[in-house]
Structure 1
Amino acid sequence: MLKKLQTKFILILMSFVSVILLSVFGIVCCSNYVHDKKDVERSLEMALRLKDKDFSISFGNSRNFNGNSFVIYTDSDYEYMITSRTVWNIYAEDAQSLIESVEHKEDVGVLKKLGFAYKKEKITNYQVNEDTLIPSGYAVAFVDISNMQSSFQRMLIISVQIGSSVLLVFFILSCILSKWALKPVEQAWDKQKQFVADASHELKTPLTVILADSDVLLNHSTESISSQKKWIESIQSEANRMRKLVENMLFLAKNDANRIEISMQNCSLSDICFHCVLPFESIAFEKGIDLIDEVEENIEVHGNESQLKQLILIFLDNAIKYTPKGGKIYFKLAKIQNKPVLTIRNTDSYIPPEDLKHVFERFYRVDKSRKYQGGAGLGLSIASQIAQSHKIKLSVTSDEKQGTEFTLNF
């Protein structure tokens, strides 16, 4: 998929550049062609108006007529009679050949192979000079356009060369840019594949347990309900675990799609922290963990109370899970430089530096160093999403002596 996307990106970019280059070079070539055509038309018109004048003398300083124009006179049967005085040395045979080339053509045209543009004009009783009178015939003006043709061809060749070079450079740049531009997409795609694989793995475990317990119940269907109670409780426990996992995944999916509507309002962060810590005191007591809380009163923030509660519960739940018996959890809410700061630190819990930067990734768990595992590894990822939507800066530090500390700067 990414290869197709990259190819599509390159094709779109190259098409865009090609259209621009064709437009630019097309406009330049067309404007030059129109300009040259007008020059030729003016030269032909001027040559016919002056007819027998000496062009080499009259127009020696003009860029349009400097030896480029001449007029050939013929009778009514297109038989050569005389050529106007010019710097061109035209023999009668050559002049007759030119006349024959235009005899059956339109009044104005171009002889591409010969490199001339021409224009015919009918004349009657025209006195060319003292010795020549044309009762009825034609005056055919010619302009040499061979240099214009060569210049135009050179311009086309140069345009093609420049265009090809620019396209090659842009092709190389587009390949580099496509890799750079699609890098976030590639990372997102890899994360999505990893997410699906991890989710499948996490769902497989409770499903396996539920199916196994169901088989046990079917094989012992004649036994009393009391003897089957442990299998039923196991199924219920795994089903609840699966439901929580699915809810967490749905939350992350909706958050990725920006489909979660959050209603923000002023709420008491002090009260939220107090209500979150209260139920964990009994859990910590049963596990032999000392939970020390210090909550400053009357601290308010702007946010969603339900999500803020979920955010704090995730950190407290993690602290309980990853603190061994005899350890301590420090929970503190205070204002620092007039801004609320919440810290949760649990002792005897260490995350190596190479794993610390991954703690907020989905399904990530530090299996090598954390012996007290629990959950599917989605809690901190959800916490990160909630913090991001509330513009809360999350940071984490870990030390072998002090333990692991999460800081929430509101």
Structure 2
Amino acid sequence: MNKTLSRKQRRNFFLMNVSAFAVIFVFLGMIILQLLSQTAYRETDQSITEMNHNPEFIQQEIARYRDDSFPENFHKEPPKSPSSNRFNTQIILWSKDGEILNKDAIGGRFSQMENLRLQTSQLEEIQTVTIQDDEDELVFHSLTKEYADNEIAYVQILSNVNQIQHSLTNFRAIVVGCMIVFWLLSIGISYWLSAVSMKPILKAWQKQQEFVENASHELRTPLTIIQNRLESLFRKPDQTILEESENIAQALNETRRLTGLTADLLTIARSDANQLMLEKEAVETEAFLTDLVVPFQEMAELEGKVFTLDVANSPTVVIDRKKVYQVIVILLDNALKYTKQGDTIEVISTKRSKLWELHVKNTGPSISKEAQEHLFDRFYREDRSRSKETGGYGLGLAIAKQIIEEHQGSITVKDVNPHGADFCIQLPLN
């Protein structure tokens, strides 16, 4: 992936993350402020409603107003409602002409309510009333109702909400400030997330590039050999097939190698695309392995190598017979290739807890720790010159790993003292 495309993709990730955080913070702030606005005045409105439906409070205020002419009763206060704040709540008695009747009972508060006017357009409904005096603006929640009395025409219940309004204003400022601060922090987080998001893409792109380059390199050599051999035949048109049998045989040999390589590449491609279908069945591993190793035992005997099979504790396992067969063949083929006369190859099958564990050991050359980390990578070969001699492409172990992982199992390798390698496959029984 070129740098321009990489920067563009990262910028797109960054913008998407920043936009997502912004949308989340905006919706979160709107929800918080909306809920706060709906609940902040609930207790005040509930107090006004209770007082409106309880005639005792209004009657006490009327009695207090009518007794105000007697100095000894001037400071009489009605009982307080359990859910109301009488300090912030005031009952106003109005005449038909819109005059406040209980001015004396209101006392010092009347100076703040001189500009209050009677409004009868929305009776029995809670509304917001604003009174502007010389020093400040007073905000009340108010409910006005008609009153059947010769002198008193309307009763108004006022509850001051300035303190609630100031608290709401401060809280809104805090919420908006916090959203801005955290959104600025989210810009840094988004930048980091965009870098993290690009890592698997760049890694996959790099692997794809390496795969294409390695595949092209491996395909080029046999194709070049085939081309040279065929061109050699055209340069000698009078030669017989027998005389050119060496060239024909080499071309056929490279063609077979190409066929195997393309089959391996197809297997890897299908696995990458999650198209590697498994046909699982219950398999008796003792009989399965006994039949499988027969040709390898014969080849080992011909090459002067010791081949042993231990299936005394082999379980029954649910696997794709053909795919697992392919994996074991890859391991045994490698064991034969990388051992010499007098070396030993062991196949040990056993049951361990809920797993089938299969070891393919050999006393050939040990594998370095660095090589063990990359041994299952595609096209990896520790000794390239030796791989050319054995005809390997470095795909066998990569295919084996993919097949085992498709079975939800694992394949590992470790050294064997004093030298050699132990490939271990673990597959779930079911």
Give the TM-score of the pair, scaled to structure 1. Answer: 0.73
Asked if 1:292 is matched to 2:316, the reply is no
Change (3 A) 1:223 1:368: closer
Q: In the alignment, does 2:374 pair up with 1:354?
A: no
**What SS does the corresponding residue of 1:402 show, helix, strand or coil?**
coil
CA offsets 1:161-184 (integer angstroms, 9 cap, x no match): 455566667776777778778876
Change in Cα spacing, 1:369 to 1:141, as seen in structure 2 (3 Å) is same
Residues 1:58 and 2:58 are matched in the alignment: no
> Pick from 384, 402, 412: which aligns with 1:395?
412
Which of 140, 146, 164 is the equivalent residue of 1:116?
140
Tell me: CA distance 1:110–1:226, structure 2 relative to 1, closer, same or farther (3 Å).
same
**One-letter amino acid of the counterpart of residue 64, structure 1:** N
Counterpart of 2:336 in structure 1 is 320
| Partner in structure 1 of residue 105 of structure 2 | 85
Taking a change above 3 Å as real, the CA distance of residues 206 and 19 of structure 1, as seen in their structure-2 partners, is: farther
Partner residue in 2 for 1:133: none
Report the equivalent of 1:241: 257
CA distance in 1, matches of 2:13, 2:275: 24
In the alignment, the residues of structure 2 paired with residue 271 and residue 139 of structure 1 have an alpha-carbon distance, to the nearest angstrom, of: 98
Alignment of 1:20-99 (within 5 A): 23=31, 26-42=34-50, 52-54=62-64, 57-59=76-78, 61-62=80-81, 63-71=84-92, 73-76=94-97, 78=98, 83=103, 85-91=105-111, 95=113, 97-99=115-117
* Partner Cα distance (1:114, 1:297) in 2: 93
Q: Which amino acid aligns with 1:38?
A: Q
Measured in 2, the distance between the counterparts of 1:315 and 1:159 equals: 64
Q: Secondary structure at the match of 2:109?
A: coil
Pair 222,179 (structure 1): closer, same or farther in 2 beyond 3 Å: same
SS at match of 2:295: helix
CA distance in 2, matches of 1:334, 1:125: 104
> Separation in 1 of the partners of 2:78 and 2:406?
81
Residue in structure 2 matched with residue 131 of structure 1 by the alignment: none
Larger mean CA deviation between 373-382 and 55-64 belongs to: 55-64
Distance 2:216 2:60 in 1: 94
1:306 aligns with 2:322: yes
Whole-angstrom CA distance in 1 between matches of 2:40 and 2:188: 32
CA offset digits 1:178-204 (Å, max 9, x no partner):
877887676556544543443333334
Asked if 2 retains the 8 angstrom alpha-carbon contact of 1:72 and 1:84, the reply is no
Structure-2 change in CA distance of 1:236 and 1:271 (3 Å): same
Residues 33-68 of structure 1: CA deviation (Å, up to 9, x unaligned): 333333344457777665535497435755432253
Q: Would you say the 8 A contact 1:358–1:364 is kept in 2?
A: yes
Number of aligned residue pairs: give it.
Answer: 392
SS in 2 for 1:90: helix
Q: Counterpart of 2:280 in 1: which secondary structure?
A: coil
Residue 365 of structure 1: CA displacement? 1.5
User: Does 2:135 correspond to 1:127?
Assistant: no
Give 1:132's aligned residue: none
Q: CA deviation at 1:145?
A: 2.0
Map Cα deviations across residues 243-283 of structure 1 (whole Å, 9 max, x no partner). Answer: 21222222233334154122222234355345435257448
Unaligned runs of 5+ in 1: 129-136
Q: Is the contact between residue 273 and residue 309 of structure 1 (CA under 8 Å) also seen in structure 2?
A: no
The one-letter code sitting in structure 2 at the alignment partner of 1:260 is M
Q: Tell me whether 38-47 or 171-180 shows the greater mean CA deviation.
A: 171-180
SS at 1:290's partner residue?
A: coil
The CA deviation string for residues 354-410 of structure 1, in whole angstroms up to 9 with x for no partner, is: 111221222222137967563221111222233445566533223695233334466
Give the gaps of 5 or more residues in structure 2. Answer: 1-5, 66-74, 131-136
- Secondary structure of the residue aligned to 1:200 is helix
Corresponding residue for residue 133 of structure 2: none
Q: Secondary structure at the match of 2:392?
A: coil
Give the conservation status (yes or no) of the 8 Å contact 2:361–2:420: no
Distance in 1 between the 2:385 and 2:221 partners? 23
Does the C-alpha gap of structure 1 residues 126 and 290 become closer, same or farther in structure 2, counting only changes over 3 Å? farther
Of the candidates 248, 253, 264, which is equivalent to residue 281 of structure 2? 264
Higher mean C-alpha displacement, 2-11 vs 302-311:
2-11
Give the secondary-structure state (helix, strand or coil) at the position aligned to 2:110. Answer: coil
Q: Do residues 147 (structure 1) and 163 (structure 2) align?
A: yes
Q: 1:247 to 1:265 in 2, by over 3 A?
A: same
SS at match of 2:348: strand
The root-mean-square deviation of aligned C-alpha atoms, in Å, is 4.4
Partner of 2:70 in structure 1? none
Alignment of structure 1 residues 370-409 onto 2, 5 Å: 374-389=391-406, 394-398=411-415, 401-408=418-425
Local SS of the residue matching 2:142: strand
Percent sequence identity is: 21
Deviates more, 1:237-246 or 1:46-55: 46-55
Contact 2:29 2:175 (C-alpha < 8 Å) held by counterparts: no
Equivalent position SS for 2:141: strand
